[in-house]
Structure 1
Amino acid sequence: MEKELLFGLLYLVYYGGLAGLTYYIIQKNSPDPLHMMQLEGYQPRDYQLWLKDNKAFNFALKISSSQNKTPLVWTDRAKRLHKRHLETILLVLVSLLVLSIFLYKYFFWLIFYPLCLGVFAFSQFHWIILAAKLNLPLENKINQGFYDTAKEKIRARKDLSVVGITGSFGKTSTKFMTATILEEAFKVQTTPSSFNTPMGLSKVINNDLTENKEVFVAELGAKEPGEIKEVADLVQPTIGVITAIGPTHMHLFKTIANIQKTKYELIEALPQDGVAIFNVDNAYVRELADGCDRKTIRYGMDLDQDLDVFADQIQVGALGSSFQLHLPGQDPVLCETILLGKHNISNLLAAACIAYSLGMTADQIAAGIRKVQPVEHRLQLIQGPSGVNVIDDAFNSNPVGARAALEVLGAFQDVKKIIITPGMVELGDIEEEENEKLGQEIAQVVDYCILVGEKRTQPIQRGLKGAGFPQDRLFVAQSLDEATQISAHLTGPGDVVLIENDLPDSYNEV
């Protein structure tokens, strides 16, 4: 009896010790899956897509907080999910331990039990999905409360003008340009950074939108049909802008038609006396403008189009741009800006349309345009301490934006031109084709090309080779830091380095 009790205690120590060790390992590494879930907007669907494309366990081993471009933020929601994740893990481990009480004498369980725990530890990135789904009813209830409070606050502000801006690209830049220009005549509240989700917008409305603000400029984002409607119902815009439509988030939208339908939800949310503003240089946006039943303002630079607001006499240089701005019923006015690239003139035209619809004059708008500063990581020209010019276009990349960035780089003369890029992502089925085209276009502009990531950049490498780019001027780095070190050996004072896209933490090549 004593011998049996002794063996029982030894088995208990064995099984309990292994379970405790497993929990310790998982608990220690638990911020990694939480971080990835946060980067994917706490959406189990998006997180599962990330898991499908990444070897999560190996990735977890190489993550460190000092390497993350976007570190984990311990918000209340993150703390709740982390707690639920650990509770879920503990429940499974306790269940296995209880099972061991009935199977402890069996030899197969002595071997199978540690194997179960090993597989369980390796699959920790998957268990947070269950935790997120278990937490979903609570999170939805909390979010709905914030959403309803913000919506009611906007509804009560009859004196507030609300501008909604959406598009596949250009919306964040246009938002900040608009705010700067409107500040010539109004007290303006805008959303920081790329806040464009229901919760991000609710936070700004509830915490920052004060009674003295006259205009609220909101960026509206979406990854699937119905999401623009949700944020438009929240902010209740009277002016809506569609900056551009193109192949972004194609892995989720699948078709351009779905993107058009989703972006047009903003226009459908406008009141009948609202103002719909369209960039008709973009063919997909032009289709939407042609079918709009609200008051429309059509803007662009293609003078063959029917335009209400347009730019001509455009001069684009390495250090800025100028153009003549035309508004209905007003004399043309010369506008000068330090912003780089013709596409930024398009964004300025969108901002000018908004200002015009709110009653500002051409002179006021031109004065505001002169004050507009580059948006961080969006064709931002920075001069390094060694005299090297860096064009920071690292925030995101798409086919139109990448070509615009190459156009800006090409404007620099008599200096070495270098690009650092990992290529474009989230383009769905056309991603490889577009990156190969990008390689061909890079070959026509740069002296040296530094690619980040061996596997992901294969299409760009094919494009470069097909365009006859010298292979001794092509470098492949494993990280942005390594790429920067390579460029430092190639550049001198006055040379130009374009950083085109910087993939988020959720992309890797493990």
Structure 2
Amino acid sequence: MIILYIGQFILLCLAVFFSLVRSNFPIHMLQLEGYDNNLYRDYIKSNREKIGKIFYMPEKNPKLPLVWTDRAKRLLKTHKFVNYGFWVATVIIGQIVYKNSNLWLGLFFTAISLFLIYYFEYRILLISNAIAKPKEDKINAGFYHEAQEKIKRLKAENSLKVIGITGSFGKTSVKFITDTILKEKFRVLHTPSSFNTPMGLSKVINNELNDSHQIFIAELGAKVPGEIKEVAELVMPDMGVITAIGPTHMQFFKTIENIQKTKYELIEALPQDGLAIFNCDNEFLKPLADKTKLKTYRYGMEDTEKLDIYAKDIEVFEKGSKFTLVIRGKGEINCQTKLLGAHNISNILAGVSFAHLLGMTLEEIQRGIEKVEGVEHRLNIIDGGRGVIVIDDAFNSNPVGFRAALDVISQFKNGNKIIITPGMVELGEMEEEENYKIGKEMAKNIDYAILVGKKRTEPIKKGLIENKFKEENIFSVSSLDEATKILGNLTRQGDVVLFENDLPDNYDEE
């Protein structure tokens, strides 16, 4: 019996160590899926090969690293207790097997059972998360209502103005641009990075928003209908903009109509005296603007006679752009920005709309535009020091953004133009067709294509070849490390390299 105890103790120590090490990655994936068990199950189904590896090692530098928030720590604690339950049951049953059979069968059963617990850590986490959910819902509701009450108080006592920003893409850039412009006149707080969920917004409001702020800028995100309504009811915006609508997160939304309905929840949440702002260069936003009963402002660069705010005389060059800003009824002024591409002028116009409605002068707006800096991983120019220009557009990609990046790289006249991309993801049934189309567009603008993910990028390769792109200038690789090695042999002084999109950490790369 002593030998059994010693053997089980050793096996248990190994199981505890390896199981808890293995649990970090699934907790990370669950966090990226918003702690939603249904989405996490979908992740498991689509990544069976990856998580089926006994000793799978995730990337060392993930795009969005695991953040040990209070919730993640509580989940880990719950997960440990669930594992303890399985471990104790295994040890007890192993002892029963020993008593009814022999020592080695008891140890064998213990070893196999502990290995299976280790192997199925990904699925055991589903149990842990389900157990933790009721408590987390209660905690989240408390933070949500605390933040909501704070917004109400600051609106009543300090005349706080709240800006809501949503859209299929462009919302984070518009948020930072708006913040920079408004700071020429106001004390502003904006949500950091991609804090656009109820809990992310609640945290910022509860911990950072205070009596000194005059403007609060909230980015509102959603993957399913109803989520914009939830965050809008939290922040209670006085004015809101929809930056764009397009095919993103199509595996959740299924149709463009569902995206339109979801993003419009921001406008529906505005008060009767609220101000609704639309990017009317976007074909899916024009009908939403037309049906809106609130006071509506339209911005863009096309059909300017129908717009309230627009840009004309646009000059886009390698290191930025110039344009004339026109605000109907207020005047016009020449502006310059360090941001790349015409699509960023559109993002600037969204920020200008808020500035105009809040009473800023043309000169104040102009100064703000000049101070706007690029958002990390969104068409930033990086000088690698070897005379090679790198354009970092790795945060995410969609058909509009991808074409905007190709437009930017086309502005560079010297050297070879090289792109590294895994293509576009999260487009649902449209993914293959859109990647094929972008391949045809790439053929017009680049000299070399390094495609990451041999299976997924087949449609891009097909589009390139059908548009008479040299097949010997296409490199299909399995990883970014391979791509980087090829890039090192390709680049020469004066070349331009575009990094377009980076697969999310919870997406299968093959």
CA distance in 2, matches of 1:89, 1:155: 44
CA distance in 2, matches of 1:431, 1:148: 39
In the alignment, residue 52 of structure 1 is paired with which amino acid? K
- When residues 60 and 167 of structure 1 are mapped into structure 2, their CA distance, relative to the original with a 3 A threshold, is farther
Matching residue of 2:341:
341
Gaps of 5+ in 1: 1-7
CA distance in 2, matches of 1:356, 1:135: 47
Aligned residue among 90, 93, 102 for 1:99: 93
Which structure 2 residues correspond to residues 3-18 of structure 1 after superposition, within 5 A?
8-11=1-4, 13-14=6-7, 17-18=10-11
CA distance in 1, matches of 2:21, 2:217: 42
Matching residue of 1:287:
287
Deviation of 1:466 after TM superposition, in Å, equals 2.1
Is the counterpart of residue 38 in structure 1 residue 31 in structure 2?
yes
Is the counterpart of residue 120 in structure 1 residue 113 in structure 2?
no
SS of the residue 1:133 aligns to: helix
- When residues 123 and 152 of structure 1 are mapped into structure 2, their CA distance, relative to the original with a 3 A threshold, is same
Residue 22 of structure 2 contacts residue 118 of structure 2 at CA under 8 Å; is this kept in 1? Answer: no
CA distance in 2, matches of 1:260, 1:130: 35
Is the counterpart of residue 138 in structure 1 residue 135 in structure 2?
yes
The number of equivalent residue pairs is 503
In the alignment, residue 172 of structure 2 is paired with which amino acid? T
Is the counterpart of residue 298 in structure 1 residue 298 in structure 2?
yes
Matching residue of 1:61:
55
CA distance in 1, matches of 2:509, 2:190: 37
CA distance in 2, matches of 1:236, 1:192: 18
Deviation of 1:9 after TM superposition, in Å, equals 4.8
Residue 43 of structure 2 contacts residue 506 of structure 2 at CA under 8 Å; is this kept in 1? Answer: yes
CA distance in 1, matches of 2:403, 2:59: 33
Is the counterpart of residue 490 in structure 1 residue 490 in structure 2?
yes
CA distance in 2, matches of 1:61, 1:459: 32
SS of the residue 2:252 aligns to: helix
Aligned residue among 136, 145, 149 for 1:148: 145
Which structure 2 residues correspond to residues 81-480 of structure 1 after superposition, within 5 A?
81-104=75-98, 105-106=100-101, 114-158=111-155, 159-303=159-303, 306-480=306-480
CA distance in 2, matches of 1:35, 1:275: 39
| TM-score (norm: length of structure 2) | 0.94
Gaps of 5+ in 2: none
In the alignment, residue 127 of structure 1 is paired with which amino acid? I
Deviation of 1:488 after TM superposition, in Å, equals 2.4
Is the counterpart of residue 77 in structure 1 residue 71 in structure 2?
yes
Deviation of 1:144 after TM superposition, in Å, equals 1.5
CA distance in 2, matches of 1:227, 1:36: 21
Moved more, 182-191 or 465-474: 465-474
CA distance in 2, matches of 1:459, 1:117: 44
| TM-score (norm: length of structure 1) | 0.94
CA distance in 2, matches of 1:369, 1:484: 35
Deviation of 1:371 after TM superposition, in Å, equals 1.1
Residue 59 of structure 1 contacts residue 508 of structure 1 at CA under 8 Å; is this kept in 2? Answer: no
In the alignment, residue 70 of structure 2 is paired with which amino acid? D
Moved more, 362-371 or 187-196: 362-371
Residue 65 of structure 1 contacts residue 71 of structure 1 at CA under 8 Å; is this kept in 2? Answer: no
Deviation of 1:179 after TM superposition, in Å, equals 0.6
CA distance in 2, matches of 1:59, 1:449: 31
CA distance in 2, matches of 1:76, 1:356: 40
CA distance in 1, matches of 2:53, 2:66: 15
Deviation of 1:65 after TM superposition, in Å, equals 6.7
Deviation of 1:408 after TM superposition, in Å, equals 0.6
What CA RMSD, in Å, does the superposition of the two structures yield over aligned residues? 2.0
SS of the residue 1:390 aligns to: strand
Deviation of 1:383 after TM superposition, in Å, equals 1.4
SS of the residue 1:476 aligns to: strand
CA distance in 1, matches of 2:466, 2:119: 42
Q: Deviations over 1:24-55 (max 9, x none)?
A: 32123221211222222222222222112113
Aligned residue among 12, 24, 31 for 2:17: 24
Residue 335 of structure 2 contacts residue 366 of structure 2 at CA under 8 Å; is this kept in 1? Answer: yes
- When residues 40 and 232 of structure 1 are mapped into structure 2, their CA distance, relative to the original with a 3 A threshold, is same
Q: What percent identity do the matched residue pairs reach?
A: 53
CA distance in 2, matches of 1:264, 1:220: 11
CA distance in 2, matches of 1:42, 1:443: 41
CA distance in 2, matches of 1:212, 1:494: 48
CA distance in 1, matches of 2:214, 2:449: 47
CA distance in 2, matches of 1:217, 1:493: 42
CA distance in 2, matches of 1:403, 1:465: 18
CA distance in 2, matches of 1:246, 1:60: 40
In the alignment, residue 467 of structure 1 is paired with which amino acid? N
Residue 57 of structure 1 contacts residue 123 of structure 1 at CA under 8 Å; is this kept in 2? Answer: no
In the alignment, residue 505 of structure 1 is paired with which amino acid? D
CA distance in 2, matches of 1:370, 1:142: 43
Matching residue of 2:45:
52
Residue 395 of structure 2 contacts residue 502 of structure 2 at CA under 8 Å; is this kept in 1? Answer: yes
Residue 164 of structure 1 contacts residue 218 of structure 1 at CA under 8 Å; is this kept in 2? Answer: yes
- When residues 119 and 467 of structure 1 are mapped into structure 2, their CA distance, relative to the original with a 3 A threshold, is farther
Q: Deviations over 1:373-396 (max 9, x none)?
A: 111110111211111111110111
CA distance in 2, matches of 1:297, 1:119: 60
